Structure 1
Amino acid sequence: MAPVDTDRVHVLGVRHHGPGSARSVAAELERIAPELVLIEGPPEADELVGLVGELTPPVSLLAYVPAEPARAAFWPFAAFSPEWAALRYAAEHGVRARFCDLPAAHTLAEDDRAEGADGKGEGGGAGADANLDAKRPEHGSGGGAPEDGTTAPDGAESAEQEPGREVADPLGMLAEAAGYDDPERWWEDIVEGRAAVPAGSSPADAGAHSAASPFPAIAEAMAAVRAEVGAGPDGPAGLREARREAHMRQVLRKAMKSVDGRIAVVCGAWHVPALLDHPRVSEDTALLRGLPKTKVAATWIPWTHGRLAAASGYRAGVRSPGWYHHLFTAPDRPVERWLAEAGRRLRELDQPVSSAHVIEAVRLTQALAALRGRPAAGLEEVADAAESVLCEGARARAHLLHSRMVVGERMGAVSADTPQVPLQRDLAAEQRGLRLQPKAEPRDLDLDLREETGRRRSALLHRLGLIGVEWGRPRGDSVRSRGTFRESWTLAWRPELELALIEAAVWGTTVEAAADARVRSLAAEAALPDLTALAERCLHAELGGALDAVVSALTARAAEDADIEHLMAALPPLARSARYGDVRRSDSAALRGVAAQLLARVRAGIVPAVSGLDDDAAAAMAGAIDGVHRAAVLLGGDDEAAWLAALERIAVRESAPGRVCGRANRILHDSGRLCDSDLSGRLSRAASRGTPPTRTAHWIEGFLSGSGLLLVHDTALLGIVDRWLNGLGADAFIEVVPLLRRTFGAFAAPERRAIGDSARALGRYGEAGAASAGDTVDARRAEPAVAAAAGLLGLAAAGAEAGG
């Protein structure tokens, strides 16, 4: 090993996304004034460094394989990331900055090779806390460990530890040596809190508090840990980490030859000893020889604090990005400022929080820090004080406040000069034109489709959904499913949607063209139910050309498909589109014709299709019948009448399951095709002694599915059910109770209560209820009411005269 000249090369070991590290990096760069800054990250992004001054963090570098955009990795940066502090320093001082990590061209290609071998990416090297940059995901590093998008475009990491390797945690080892049981708390006390000025400090004290550089101590600590756990290809960090460090050293050697002045290297603390002591060049060359390579493109994309949080699954994430952002942007009196902001937010929620509350909360944080032996109050003390004083012990309110402030959700922005695929630029133009800017915080959007802007916004959201960019999600029922002029959406822009846009760029250069091409591709392979749903989505997205292609495929597929279940599943969305397509001024005549054909085929095949079904199949068929009935109602006219006639045949068919027969009878009754007396007769036959109890229970279940109010208003039907239950033997009763419990348990509580009241009335007044014919009237109890009614009607005198 040969040590480097530390007077010329300054290696700054950091914890990714640490405000204390970021502030220390900025101060150290000001002190050493380097000619070149090397930063841990993919070298493919070197040409993007010049855009740093135009970006608003949080942002992320995105490296992807153009031929297969799903193979990608992210390198996020926040305002409090040390690497971002280095990039900002270089931009503001005109200093050259480059990335020095292993190229993404190798790491993404390695994933390809590993997946070809065993179906998944090889395990990432490991050895340390990801924020110190030894326990790495499988795609390079930088800006805090990258998020792996290879197998999950949403950025979830998929790397695993190499088999047989024990993972060492340098942060945990150092914390344990210092007597801490929580590595996060130790790091915050030692590093992150060092630049935070304690309350009451003078400017001179504040300067002394943060003047000493932490980097020599960090380098010494990491050297001790690496010596303890071992390093290199055979150590716990593995071959991948050794290759990364070999490439960093090669970049550093070249920089030392090309630059006369000082060089600053900003990297994960774990790598510092490897960059201060260099092996022979031949050893590094051997490690890097034969690495696979693929073509990679890189760009900047917006990021969010939510995706920087460890709770999101990001391996190098921090517990509290909002708190860290606050520590970085408010170095003086951070606790006081944080609690003042908490008080302001509570007042916005109409909570009585005064300045006295805030003062007492600050005092409590100081007392808690002293009791817990901490050098300064941290997030735990602030959270406890906010709950106890500001929220007056209301834990739920404190948790809501704390969670919002701790994450501190915010979304970054990139400049117009950032490299983008044409589809991204078209979407950005659409967003500006419709005044619909992407934001990380979920927000509700209500659209009026009678207005031009509302229709255009709706069409854009539906088109994005068709190409897999789920910016907006319908709120409540499916949008416009009832033919209204309103749509309700929830919008939330997530960073991984940028990658989804890049993936969708293969379909076209504009959102409309990409959605059109995507629909045509789906239509070529979709099954019949999927085709009808696709037709409905085309109407929502106002894709007339694609709709014609879908209708053509739908007509051909409907003529070939003989599966009655496919036909029944395909009909409801098609009928909705045929009925409500004109809400968007779309011509849906062709859809109506296809829907009528499908309904005719369902009518022809429904009667034999319901015979011989088991319980599960009968339940599915009853649900399908409901869907077809709603579709027939939407089509109306002769189509609805013919469908009800088909249900008439099912309602009296002995071979049909009880649940299907009961459902058919309920639909006929609700449609006015079955009068109360006929319905009572059918229920009586279904509940007769000659019918198996389970069939009767299924009949009742199908009949009452969705609503039991009919039994409340029709005591004759309730009496039939009551007599049937009273006549069951013990074994039969035990057999049907679970079925009836499932039926009545699905009703709302007020419905069950009303049915119970009606059942009790049967026991008091007779089988058919108090108002039924044949009830015995208590003349004595009725006499006052009769006299009062006669008096109101002027019949009392006449009655007296007649009596006289």
Structure 2
Amino acid sequence: MTGGGPLLLGVRHHGPGSARAVRAALTAAEPGAVLIEGPPEADPLIPLAADGTMRPPVALLAHAVDEPGRSAFWPLAEFSPEWVALRWALEHGVPARFIDLPAAHTLVWGRDTNFTDGTDGTDSTDGTGDTDGTDAPNGDGDGDGSPVPDEAARVRVDPLAVLADAAGYDDPERWWEDAVEHRGGTRDPLAPFAALDEAMTALRETYGDGGHPRDLVREAHMRIQVRAAVREFGDSVAVVCGAWHVPALRERTTLAADRALVKGLPRVRTGMTWVPWTHRRLSRAGGYGAGIESPGWYGHLFAAPDRPVERWLTEVAGLLRAEDRLVSSADVIEAVRLAETLAVLRGRPLPGLTETLDAARAVLCEGSDVPLALVRDRLVVGDVLGRVPASAPAVPLRRDLDREQRRLRLKPEPSAREVELDLRKETDAGRGRLLHRLRLLGVGWGRPVDGRGSTGTFRETWRLRWEPELEVRVAEAGIWGTTVLAAATARAESDALSARGLAEVTALAERCLLAGLPEALPVVTRMLVDRAALDTDVGHLAQALPALVRSLRYGDVRGTDTAALAEVAGGLAERVFIGLPPACAALDAEAAAEMRRHVDAVHGAVALLGEGTGPPPSGRGGLRRRWYGVLRVLSARDTCAGIVRGRAVRLLLDEGELDEGEAARLMGLVLSPGTPPADAAAWIEGFLGGGSGGGLLLVHDERLRGLVDAWLTAVPDSAFEDVLPLLRRTFAAYEAGVRRTLGELVRRGPGARGSAVHPGAGAPGFGDGFDSGRADAVLPVLGLLLGTADEAGAGDGEGHAPSPHDGRKADERSPEDMGEALT
């Protein structure tokens, strides 16, 4: 920084104080060239930073051309010193260059490191809390496994903590605010950099490279680039880099020694572009290694250097008002005063984020942490999404996705939101197809969720959230095609050919119909037929049938030809019908429970499959009739597992193929003393299990309830503990109200008033006599509602309403009299 050498400006990445200081230093020094820590492959992209449509936060994205999933990001926000330096150079017509180790080496060096999860490829330890995506992922050693001293590892994780400790602070962020962000302006714009340089020099003398030799290689490459710029532009060169690197860049080394360090590094062919970024992904909590705790707050400090506390609390008040909370101007004034008072009590030069949040909690949030959590999420972190110009380099698939988003008016947003789609509308159907195609390509922009409205097949509900990492997924998917439709089709065909099981192919057929991929359906259908013909496992066939039937239903709304799938589904159903009875014999408890789930799935699929579906000679209704025949076979076969037999009887009863008397007879046979208790309990679980349906059946059918009750009371003590877990599992699936009703009915006993059926009753749920006492309790209220009560309103002297009929008492009136009163 002195003595005729290049101007070294050590910064904290994403620090608004450093950004303002860089702008002031560059304006004062007016260098002839600006060198910035970053990948040199991005030099051709620098002019795009001056485009009017470019809006930070953005990131430089580097990816291996032959392996797009191997990538690295270099995020930049409006308050990042590097971004400020770029903008200053472009505004003043000064050449700007990136001088860090090329991404071609970064992407291939240390292939065990994951570069796609938000780690930063720009930093090593720089005294600013930043980390480098090229370092060992475990953070406790270098790339070759050499040990690192504990103190050095601590500096590598958060160097600010060392300086904060030395200054007597327990919070590095609070120290940075007091030392940099709240520091008043100085006449010498280089003074802040001199102070930070002195601190970093002391740290480097104590900890060396911090246990990460790769920093030495990066710094050697940066020194080579600085020498080249000095030869071209003279000493009028400014270098903007992490403060940790400044002592190394000032170090006197030979060119040969630096070249020896970078010689022979592995490299890979690399692509580079600008991509949008978000404040949330700039936060350390979002997984970004060089992140900061409060990007939204730092953005505010950079945009509002004057009266930041007043402006911030005004924004907080606006946010709370938008959420229907009462916040007045007087509250904002009181919160500002409280924040300033807290800063004085805590010995801080100005209120920081801690003081403003404490004041907001006490005054604007009335002491509650619930609205304060909203403030932290929306303002302290924030969901600001950057924008890049259309002229930025991009893979063809990315450009086609942009066109589809504009055509369908489906804007990518960083905050999660739910979208309800009506597939009967052309635009909504197009949106649904696009989201399904992207999911098939591994681009998880949207996730299907249960809708709050109609559950018809013509509706879809999606939860959308665009994350910057999806740019990498789009680049990866570019190998399948240049458009979303072509890429999804090619990916579906490839997945069909490589699918390992029948269930995978049927699920893929469903996804193809959802995504509207008619070109892929022939390949998927052919693989489906081949897999179904070779697969002899009835469980696999039963598992595949429901997904295939769902696919047929989707064709109704989306207008897709599903004739070929209908033939496959009919043939698959026939094979299930033939193979299911033998497959249900000689099963253990776990296999029997799994087979019961298959029976339920096939039953639902046959119901959806429709009449007349399937190959000849099924005829109209043939599939359902044959399925009912299969259920009858299962219900009567003694070798079949008890849970499956019970389920078959229940399904026949629900479909009206078995009357209640026959169901009671079958249950009586199973619950006879000759049947082992465990087998009887399994039969009951199959018959009554599956949620509240079985419980309601017991509530309304006293004969079945009596059979179960009689069997249960007759179970010997020695066998009761064996059947208890099965019974608990069965009855625990019922809703709480159903369990309470069953308990009350059992307590009353058979034939008691209030039971489901009474002696002489004509229908379930009604008694055999007239309860005049209960009628008397209703009549006064009815009289008031119908206006037939005594207008004098005298009542009976005890607060009861007068009788709504003539002067007779309730027990003297007939049902006909009460009917007249009601009419």
User: What TM-score comes out, normalization by structure 2 length?
Assistant: 0.86
1:213 and 2:191 matched: yes
Partner of 1:601: 575
Q: Which runs of 5+ in 2 are unaligned?
A: 115-119, 611-620, 776-809, 819-823
Contact 1:130-1:316 within 8 A present in 2 as well? no
Which of 440-449 and 162-171 deviates more?
162-171
From 645, 665, 669, the counterpart of 1:685: 669
Give the aligned residue type for 2:193: F
Partner of 2:633: 649
Equivalents in 2 of 1:399, 1:90: separation in Å? 39
Partner of 2:690: 705
Q: Secondary structure at the match of 1:474?
A: strand
Partner of 2:702: 715
Equivalents in 1 of 2:484, 2:770: separation in Å? 77
Contact 2:442-2:473 within 8 A present in 1 as well? yes
Question: How far apart are 1:102 and its partner, in Å?
Answer: 0.7
Equivalents in 1 of 2:208, 2:526: separation in Å? 66
Partner of 1:240: 214
Contact 1:479-1:487 within 8 A present in 2 as well? no
Q: Secondary structure at the match of 2:74?
A: strand
Partner of 2:16: 19
Give the aligned residue type for 1:706: G
Equivalents in 2 of 1:210, 1:640: separation in Å? 88
Question: How far apart are 1:107 and its partner, in Å?
Answer: 1.8
Deviation track 1:528-563 (CA, whole Å, cap 9, x = no partner) reads 111111111111111111112211211122111111
Shift of the 131–646 alpha-carbon distance from structure 1 to 2, 3 Å rule, reads farther
From 714, 733, 737, the counterpart of 2:720: 733
Equivalents in 1 of 2:772, 2:634: separation in Å? 50
Partner of 1:229: 207
Deviation track 1:773-802 (CA, whole Å, cap 9, x = no partner) reads 599x9999968899979933599xxxxxxx
Shift of the 272–696 alpha-carbon distance from structure 1 to 2, 3 Å rule, reads same
1:51 and 2:48 matched: yes
Give the aligned residue type for 1:45: A
Within 5 A, what are the aligned runs for 1:608-619?
608-619=582-593
Contact 1:249-1:278 within 8 A present in 2 as well? no
1:9 and 2:6 matched: yes
Partner of 1:537: 511
Equivalents in 2 of 1:264, 1:610: separation in Å? 79
Question: How far apart are 1:217 and its partner, in Å?
Answer: 0.4
Equivalents in 1 of 2:298, 2:140: separation in Å? 28
Question: How far apart are 1:254 and its partner, in Å?
Answer: 0.7
Contact 1:63-1:72 within 8 A present in 2 as well? yes
1:758 and 2:757 matched: no
Equivalents in 2 of 1:27, 1:695: separation in Å? 85
Contact 2:40-2:97 within 8 A present in 1 as well? yes
Contact 1:17-1:77 within 8 A present in 2 as well? yes
Equivalents in 1 of 2:769, 2:272: separation in Å? 94
From 316, 321, 335, the counterpart of 1:361: 335
From 161, 164, 176, the counterpart of 2:141: 161
Deviation track 1:714-757 (CA, whole Å, cap 9, x = no partner) reads 22222222222222333433333333222222222222223223
Which of 215-224 and 674-683 deviates more?
674-683
1:791 and 2:821 matched: no
Which of 534-543 and 735-744 deviates more?
735-744
Shift of the 255–208 alpha-carbon distance from structure 1 to 2, 3 Å rule, reads closer
Contact 1:440-1:494 within 8 A present in 2 as well? yes
Q: Secondary structure at the match of 1:412?
A: coil
Shift of the 789–667 alpha-carbon distance from structure 1 to 2, 3 Å rule, reads farther
Partner of 2:401: 427
Give the aligned residue type for 1:367: T
Shift of the 568–64 alpha-carbon distance from structure 1 to 2, 3 Å rule, reads same
From 35, 47, 51, the counterpart of 2:32: 35
Partner of 1:580: 554
Contact 2:420-2:451 within 8 A present in 1 as well? no
Question: How far apart are 1:239 and its partner, in Å?
Answer: 1.9
Question: How far apart are 1:291 and its partner, in Å?
Answer: 1.1
Equivalents in 2 of 1:115, 1:309: separation in Å? 20
Question: How far apart are 1:598 and its partner, in Å?
Answer: 0.4
Deviation track 1:432-476 (CA, whole Å, cap 9, x = no partner) reads 111112111112212222221122111111111111111111121
Shift of the 414–124 alpha-carbon distance from structure 1 to 2, 3 Å rule, reads closer
Give the aligned residue type for 1:165: V
Partner of 1:106: 105
Q: Secondary structure at the match of 1:543?
A: coil
Higher relative contact order (CA 8 A, sep 6+): 1
Shift of the 125–765 alpha-carbon distance from structure 1 to 2, 3 Å rule, reads same
From 768, 771, 788, the counterpart of 2:758: 771
From 173, 176, 194, the counterpart of 1:187: 176
Equivalents in 2 of 1:470, 1:124: separation in Å? 24
Equivalents in 2 of 1:289, 1:31: separation in Å? 38
Equivalents in 2 of 1:60, 1:158: separation in Å? 24
User: What TM-score comes out, normalization by structure 1 length?
Assistant: 0.88
Partner of 1:75: 74
Deviation track 1:38-81 (CA, whole Å, cap 9, x = no partner) reads 11111111111111112211111111110111111111111111
From 488, 500, 521, the counterpart of 1:547: 521
Give the aligned residue type for 1:640: R
Equivalents in 1 of 2:188, 2:308: separation in Å? 15
Within 5 A, what are the aligned runs for 1:15-414?
15-54=12-51, 55-112=54-111, 128=125, 131-133=128-130, 135-138=131-134, 161-162=141-142, 163=145, 164-166=147-149, 167-169=153-155, 170-194=159-183, 207=185, 213-231=191-209, 236-260=210-234, 262-414=236-388
Equivalents in 2 of 1:510, 1:369: separation in Å? 56
Q: Secondary structure at the match of 1:13?
A: strand
Deviation track 1:16-49 (CA, whole Å, cap 9, x = no partner) reads 1111111111111111111111111111111111
From 430, 439, 450, the counterpart of 1:476: 450
Equivalents in 1 of 2:761, 2:595: separation in Å? 41
Contact 1:449-1:487 within 8 A present in 2 as well? yes
Which of 243-252 and 678-687 deviates more?
678-687
Deviation track 1:253-275 (CA, whole Å, cap 9, x = no partner) reads 11110103511111111101001
Contact 2:670-2:680 within 8 A present in 1 as well? yes
- Could you say what the CA RMSD is over the residues aligned between the two structures, in angstroms? 3.0
Contact 1:301-1:413 within 8 A present in 2 as well? yes
Question: How far apart are 1:314 and its partner, in Å?
Answer: 1.0
Contact 1:719-1:767 within 8 A present in 2 as well? no
Contact 1:305-1:410 within 8 A present in 2 as well? yes
Deviation track 1:278-311 (CA, whole Å, cap 9, x = no partner) reads 2222221221122112211111111111111111
Which of 208-217 and 383-392 deviates more?
208-217
Shift of the 409–771 alpha-carbon distance from structure 1 to 2, 3 Å rule, reads same
Q: Secondary structure at the match of 1:765?
A: coil
Partner of 1:143: none
Contact 1:63-1:297 within 8 A present in 2 as well? yes
Report percent identity of matched pairs: 50
Which of 609-618 and 63-72 deviates more?
609-618
Q: Secondary structure at the match of 2:213?
A: helix
Equivalents in 1 of 2:476, 2:245: separation in Å? 34
Shift of the 127–53 alpha-carbon distance from structure 1 to 2, 3 Å rule, reads closer
Q: Secondary structure at the match of 1:374?
A: coil
Give the aligned residue type for 1:554: L
Question: How far apart are 1:127 and its partner, in Å?
Answer: 8.1
The alignment covers a number of residue pairs equal to 752
